[in-house]
Amino acid sequence: MKLLVASLIIFMSISVKAQQSFKQQQLQFERVKMAYDLKWTTLEKELQQAGFQENFEMLVTAYKAEGKLEIWLKNQNKTKFALFKTYDFCAHSGKLGPKVTEGDLQTPEGFYKINVFNPMSSYHLSLGIDYPNEVDKARTGKDRKTGGDIYIHGDCVTVGCIPLTDDKIREVYILAVEAKNAGQPEIPVYIFPFRMTKTNFESYAKQYPQHIAFWNTLQPGFKSFEKDKKILNVLTKSNGQTILKR
């Protein structure tokens, strides 16, 4: 997926002042305006019924084996996230296990954040994640390419991204816009190979023994979020280590 750089809003480059008008900037794009026209009235009612106020924060979890993407929200005066909606992947790419090289068709596994809003995507609307992280780079090595351009997007095709259909991405996209517009600096995206319960881990480890060491670095994050429902304090180091800080 090629980026239209002039059209993209990248988190780290936006000032506090610009954050306040982020929604207005996004609404200048036809597809974003259409998404709001089609979805926002219903979403607002659902948010109110679920107890979420106007200014909420957002977190995304995804499970490759189950093909599920979850949207977690919390009011800014709360400490824990609560599940708001779950969406099915529309298509799958690759197998369980992390993305290693460009063109391997794998969907990444690890701890990321949304770093791009693309309102003019080739796949309707898309939210980019900041793959590769340091662990990914270390895994790929110096003589190979990590690949990139990993998105949560519309349509129903994929070569490593997470497609949701145009209808579903409209909801996810504008929820992310609302969270960003409310001042959330980073929206976490945690992509797990599967729901990393003890039973599931033992089962998938038998099928994919080559990934056990890596999955052992993801499971503490899964368990921590399942228990606390808080943003993880994750450090990914250039030597390929993932450290969950307390």
Is position 156 annotated as part of the catalytic site? no
Cis peptide before 132 (omega within 30 of 0): yes
Whether the pTM exceeds 0.85: the reply is: yes
The rounded distance, in Å, linking the Cα atoms of 167 and 102 is: 29
Query: Which residues in 40-71 are b (16+ Cβ under 10 Å) and which e?
Result: beebeeebeeeebeeebbbbbbbbbebeebbb
DSSP secondary-structure letter at 128? Answer: E
The rounded distance, in Å, linking the Cα atoms of 135 and 105 is: 18
Give the per-residue pLDDT at 245: 72
Give the per-residue pLDDT at 246: 65
Query: For residue 178, how far is the Cα from the chain centroid?
Result: 15
Token readout for 231 is: 């943003």
Give the per-residue pLDDT at 121: 97
Q: Please give the single-letter amino acid code of residue 171.
A: E
Give the per-residue pLDDT at 242: 79
Give the CATH class of 5-245. Answer: mainly beta
Give the per-residue pLDDT at 139: 93
Please tell me which residue in 90, 124, 161, 211 is annotated as part of the active site.
161
**CA proximity to 223, closest of 191, 195, 199:** 195
Please tell me which residue in 90, 124, 153, 211 is annotated as part of the active site.
153
Instruction: Locate the domains of the chain by residue range.
Output: 5-245
Is position 124 annotated as part of the catalytic site? no
Q: What is the DSSP string of 163-231?
A: E--HHHHHHHHHHHHHHHHTT-S--EEEEESS---HHHHHHHHHH-GGGHHHHHHHHHHHHHHHHH-S-
Length of the chain in terms of residues written: 246
Token readout for 246 is: 């307390």
Token readout for 124 is: 């309707």
Give the per-residue pLDDT at 237: 74
- In the predicted model, residues of the chain with pLDDT beneath 50 are 1-20
Token readout for 65 is: 């084996």
